[in-house]
Structure 1
Amino acid sequence: MEDEKFIFCLEAVPDIESDTTTDVVKILENIALKQGVASIYKACDSIEGLEESLSNLLYDDHNFKDYEIIYLVMPGESNNILLNDYYYSIEEIAELFEGKMNGKVIHFANKKVLDLTDEESQYFLDVTGARAISGYGSELQEISSANTIDRVFFSMYQENDDLKEVVESMFQKHYNLCKLLDFRLYY
């Protein structure tokens, strides 16, 4: 498929040296097999690891333009991610991604709440160059977005790059889940 969109997933793990296969890896493999959505997965356990993974993607991967979704599976509090026992704000994340995410969709799994004001979302989009940022407003972590609505989002976006139409369709077809997890898109 010529206009195929890939996912670049960065997952926060306690220790990068561990050989444990996470649920996210299994889910991404399943998405590739069942839905035909390809991805690259990287684990990180520090902000330096996150930066290194991004740099490798940006400067060493000649297919970077094909990665339209940057999927961040990281715990944290509202508008913060937690790496190596330290919280990084959405502003710090934006500065880390500064000018590097042109046209990309930055999607956060529901391991943290994404609740941005108009100013915060505009700042993030302006600084990073991202096309959109999405995530969830619900603190409900008993349901993994990675194994439910994220796979729907990735599959629908694979077929249609109009984000408004994708979100409208998600809410039409999976209203209860979108509402329960409080899916949000800032663009």
Structure 2
Amino acid sequence: MNKVNLPSNQVENFIYCLEAVHNADTIQSTEVVKILEDMALKQDISSIYKACDTMEGLEESLSYLLYDDHNFKDYEIIYLVLPGDSNTILINDYHYSIEEIAELFEGKMKGKVIHFSNKKVLDLTDEESQYFLDVTGARAISGYGFQSQSMSSAFTIDRAFFSLFYENDDLRDVVETMFQKHYKLCKLLDFRLYY
């Protein structure tokens, strides 16, 4: 095995992606996997991808990330590709509230940005977003007010958000730049960031 030594000032960018699928045991390459592979090649953003089909699978994937992956501190973005409504996610025909998700992540997301794709609407009140941030320790939670199964945010605006985030760590600047560079998509999908 060949090892490539990177300059010490070069920092790798990492995303941890959890996607809900119908059957996690079947080997499949989803559109999200293909996009993540393309991001690694074109945007120098590496990722770990896990598919889950149950809440237990989601918990196991999260436990693996927290306790077995020694690079966890390098993952600044946790990318959740989970269907659902405004304050719930849907896995295997069961709805889980944003509060249940917060409790699942309790104290484990210090400094992370939790980003939901537009497979679910993210529509939190100030109280709900503050609860989520306080319980999880996350730096921010982001997503979209417009849900679409036909127009995936992963193809366009998620990629832009991830790149901008790794170019500039200031979330306010990232959101401003998102709206400057991708105004139509931000408005169409109703991009939101709570911090």
- The interval holding the TM-score normalised by the smaller chain is over 0.9
Deviation at 1:84, TM superposition (A): 1.0
Q: Which has the larger radius of gyration?
A: 2
CA distance in 1, matches of 2:70, 2:128: 31
What is the RMSD computed on CA atoms of the aligned residues?
0.9
| Map of 1:82 onto structure 2 | 90
Aligned length, in residue pairs: 187
Q: Residue by residue, what CA displacement relative to the aligned partner does 1:109-159 show, whole Å, maximum 9, x if unpaired?
A: 000000000000000000000000000001343311001100000011111
> Where in structure 2 are there 5+ consecutive unaligned residues?
1-8
CA distance in 1, matches of 2:11, 2:174: 16
Which of the residues 68, 77, 83 maps onto 1:69? 77
| Map of 1:130 onto structure 2 | 138
TM-score (norm 2): 0.94
Which of the residues 15, 40, 45 maps onto 2:23? 15
CA distance in 2, matches of 1:55, 1:138: 30
CA distance in 1, matches of 2:31, 2:150: 14
Task: Report the 3-state secondary structure (helix = DSSP H, G, I; strand = E; otherwise coil) of the residue aligned with 2:134.
Answer: helix
> Are 1:149 and 2:157 counterparts?
yes
Q: Tell which deviates more after alignment, 112-121 or 13-22.
A: 13-22
Q: Residue 4 of structure 1 contacts residue 158 of structure 1 at CA under 8 Å; is this kept in 2?
A: no
CA distance in 2, matches of 1:177, 1:92: 30
Deviation at 1:78, TM superposition (A): 1.2
> Are 1:112 and 2:120 counterparts?
yes
Aligned-partner residue type, residue 80 of structure 2: L
CA distance in 1, matches of 2:159, 2:45: 9
Deviation at 1:46, TM superposition (A): 0.4
| Map of 2:100 onto structure 1 | 92
Deviation at 1:79, TM superposition (A): 1.3
Task: Report the 3-state secondary structure (helix = DSSP H, G, I; strand = E; otherwise coil) of the residue aligned with 1:38.
Answer: strand
Aligned-partner residue type, residue 51 of structure 2: A
Q: Tell which deviates more after alignment, 147-156 or 1-10.
A: 1-10
CA distance in 2, matches of 1:185, 1:85: 27
The 1:145/1:73 distance shift into structure 2, 3 A limit, reads same
CA distance in 2, matches of 1:165, 1:4: 21
Aligned-partner residue type, residue 168 of structure 2: N
TM-score (norm 1): 0.98
